Amino acid sequence: MTDHALPVSRRAALILAVASLGGLMMLVWPLLLRVQPTDRVDPPFLFLALLPVVIAVVLAELSEGGVDTRVLAVLGVLSAIIAILRGLSPGLGGVELTFFLLVLAGRVFGPGFGFVLGVTSLFASALMTAGVGPWLPFQMLVSAWVGMGAGLLPRRVTGRWEIAMLAAYGVVAAYLYGLLMNLSGWPFLLGIVIPGHEQTALSFDPAAPLWENLQRFGAYTLITSTGSFDTGRAITNAIAIVVVGPAVLTTLRRAARRATVVGTAHRPDPSAAASGG
């Protein structure tokens, strides 16, 4: 199998790592706080405003590594297809055709491309389905991780083992996506401990220790999505990757061969050099 993953420079890898760390801190901040019940708690939304800047920098870095307008065109086409698939499968019962193509594209084009595709495809789908809201930046970020993770899977795995690996990754990614999205909204859906807010046994308590909040969140996500939406999404990902994965991988790799700029080194002709030609 010829590897057509787009090269990621060290600087781009550092940017992705810093952006991912910042995004992770934005998601897990409720578990890291210990404040008094009377204190006001605000999430660190600054990173969300920086996300477009991160995407622009990563695209610029990928361009230096061998990306031209044809790769950007592939990015646009894939973003549109994923947006359409998401509109056709709005996640009822967890049946959602958003992530299998993101996983396959990240596998072929690499982690940098997968990260950007996760952001652009979710943004495009939100515009098409009127799904713009405070949850959108979190969806874009977690989807970017899904695409990037697919690009980081071992490159030497091929054939049926590759499909099995991608299907297993699709299952794991489905559960992690649901887990992280639940974490992004959990402190607000059940109320933060401030005067006048009614609390439940599953509510986030900023004054509680980490282990107690982990137990609360674990019970919350298990009840609300793990056994329903996340499982449906995992099954959908696995079936889609197994059924159409081989054909889609072949198509994407053919597109990658045509779109990726590859330099060719030519050894100088000694006779031409001797004659001064």
Residue 120: inside a domain, yes or no? Answer: yes
- Residue 239 has a pLDDT of 95
Is there a domain that residue 273 lies in?
Answer: no
Q: Does the pTM exceed 0.75?
A: yes
Give the residue from 88, 234, 218 showing the smallest Cα distance to 172: 234
Is the C-alpha dihedral spanning 27, 31, 32, 33 positive or negative? positive
What total of structural domains would you count in the chain?
1
Q: Is residue 269 part of a domain?
A: no
Q: Is 1 domain-assigned?
A: no
3 state DSSP class of 275: coil
Q: Long-range contacts made by residues 48-51, C-beta under 8 angstroms, separation at least 24?
A: 48/137, 50/19, 50/22, 51/19, 51/23, 51/119, 51/137, 51/140, 51/141
Range of the domain at 146: 10-259
In a domain, 267, yes or no: no
How high is the mean pLDDT of the chain? 78
Q: What is the CATH number of the domain that holds 236?
A: 1.10.1760.20
Q: What is the sign of the dihedral through the CA atoms of 9, 77, 86 and 107?
A: negative
The answer to whether residue 64 is domain-embedded is yes
Q: Alpha helix (H) ranges present in the chain?
A: 10-32, 46-64, 69-88, 99-109, 111-129, 136-151, 159-189, 210-221, 231-259, 270-274
Band (18; pLDDT cuts 50, 70, 90): confident
Distance CA 32, CA 113 (A): 31
Query: What pLDDT is recorded for position 58?
Result: 66
Q: What is the pLDDT of residue 243?
A: 95
**Would 274 be classed as within a structural domain?**
no
265 falls within a domain: no
Q: Could you report the per-residue pLDDT of 129-144, keeping only the tens digit for each?
A: 767 777 788 888 899 9
pLDDT band at residue 194 using 50, 70 and 90 as cut-offs: very low
pLDDT greater than 50 at residue 208:
yes
43-96 pLDDT, tens digit each: 555 556 666 766 666 666 666 655 567 888 888 999 999 988 887 766 565 677
Q: What is the pLDDT of residues 218-265, one digit of tens each?
A: 888 888 888 788 898 999 999 999 999 999 999 999 888 876 544 443
Q: Please return the burial class of 106, using the count of CB atoms within 10 Å of its CB with bins 0-12, 13-18 and 19+.
A: buried
pLDDT value at position 23?
A: 79
Lowest mean pLDDT among 91-105, 111-125, 178-192, 257-271: 257-271
- What is residue 261's predicted lDDT score, i.e. its pLDDT? 46
240 vs 194, higher pLDDT: 240
The Cα 41–Cα 224 span in angstroms is 24
